Amino acid sequence: MPELAEVEYFRRRWNAGLGQRVAHVLVHPKAGVFKKTDATTLAARLTGATLDASEAAAKQMLFRATAADGAPLWLGIHLGMTGELFVAPAGHAPRKGDHLVLVQRDRALVFTDPRMFGRVLFHEGPDAPAWWTDIAPAVTSPAFSIGALTVFLARRARTPIKAVLLMQERFPGIGNWMADEILWRAAIHPRRPAGSLSPDETKTLHREIRHVATHALRIIGRANAPTMPDPPPDWLFQHRWTDGGLCPKTKAPLVREEIGGRTTCWSPARQKL
DNA sequence: TCCTATGTTGTATG
DNA sequence: ACATACAACATAGG
């Protein structure tokens, strides 16, 4: 489920636990989400630690904590395809798929992920780990310039633009639905080779990447609702999975096909090859 | 039963 | 070394 804005939404769900001590930690150490982490060490070091702050970048979240002995701890979570964070009562009994639970006095912070494409990362030390600092600059930051975009498209010249937009090394946080939303707004066909975009199209693409990211963060990422809000009905998002769905701009039928290994939805009336 | 799924990574090939 | 394409991971729900 989670792309840029959904990750931000889930990150904020754990805000209730910031500034609070972790009384104990429940893990399923053999779960696939701990493939890159020693779950036993993580559980031992987070027990008695205090959660200090959190951030989101790309599709990852970082929770900073201070161990009982004062050491700085860094907990990373990637939600994969089906991961979620939620807050439960302190007595929460972990169910299948609840891979990591930070139990505090007044609540339990739960990471659940049935499909287990998500990952938990852990680091101890004064400096932020590479898995956090190596994340590419946000598409809403000045570093994401038209020049940088142009260079990247040229390098991936023969790949369909849809597949290129999913590359996290340049478009951190963009996922399947955001990529389709961006191309639909920019009126660019998802099969267009990345190297075939004109300077004007590149400029439009750049503008719409920022537009979709900014507004998704505003609508979904900043929401406080207990269930995640959807974008408004004039976004492609609301229509992309409906059989016989119509383009909100042209009212013509939408099309779904696999491009770059992912189901892609577009409006043939406004996105031409 | 069969198909799909808002993601990443390893591997083969050019 | 770099670009490109695709299978594999694991599970639930329609």
State how beta strands A50-57 and A108-112 pair: unpaired
Alpha carbon A10 to chain centroid distance?
10
Per-residue pLDDT at A1 exceeds 80? no
Alpha helices in A50-145 (DSSP H): 130-133
* A221: DSSP letter: I
Using pLDDT thresholds of 50, 70 and 90, give the confidence band for residue A208: very high
Check residue A42 and give its pLDDT. 97
Per-residue pLDDT at A101 exceeds 80? yes
**pLDDT tens digit sequence for A117-168:** 999 999 999 999 999 999 999 999 999 999 999 999 999 999 999 999 999 9
Check residue A245 and give its pLDDT. 92
Using pLDDT thresholds of 50, 70 and 90, give the confidence band for residue A52: very high
Instruction: Label residue A188 left, alpha or beta by phi (over 0 means left) and psi (-120 to 50 means alpha).
Output: beta
Per-residue pLDDT at A29 exceeds 90? no
* A57/A28: higher pLDDT: A57
Catalytic residue list of A: 2-3, 59, 262
Specify the range with the lowest mean pLDDT, choosing from A74-83, A149-158, A217-226.
A217-226
Using pLDDT thresholds of 50, 70 and 90, give the confidence band for residue A26: very high
Task: Name the closest residue (CA) to the C1' of nucleotide C2.
Answer: A155
Per-residue pLDDT at A257 exceeds 80? yes
The Å distance, CA of A5 to C1' of C8, is 27
Check residue A259 and give its pLDDT. 96
Q: At what angle are helices A199-216 and A146-155 packed, to 10 degrees?
A: 110
Rounded to 5°, angle at Cα A267 from A201 and A233: 105
Nucleotides of C under 7 A from a protein CB: 2-12
The closest alpha carbon to A165, from A212, A104, A96, belongs to: A212
Which protein residues have a C-beta closer than 7 A to any atom of strand B?
Answer: A 1-3, 6, 58-59, 78, 80-81, 115, 117, 166, 168, 175-177, 256, 261-263
The arithmetic mean of pLDDT across residues A63-68, rounded, is 98
Check residue A30 and give its pLDDT. 85
Using pLDDT thresholds of 50, 70 and 90, give the confidence band for residue A210: very high
Mean pLDDT taken over chain A = 96
The arithmetic mean of pLDDT across residues A215-240, rounded, is 93
Per-residue pLDDT at A243 exceeds 90? no
| Structural tokens at position A140 | 């809403």
Task: Name the closest residue (CA) to the C1' of nucleotide C8.
Answer: A117
State the pTM of this model: 0.96
Task: Name the closest residue (CA) to the C1' of nucleotide C7.
Answer: A261
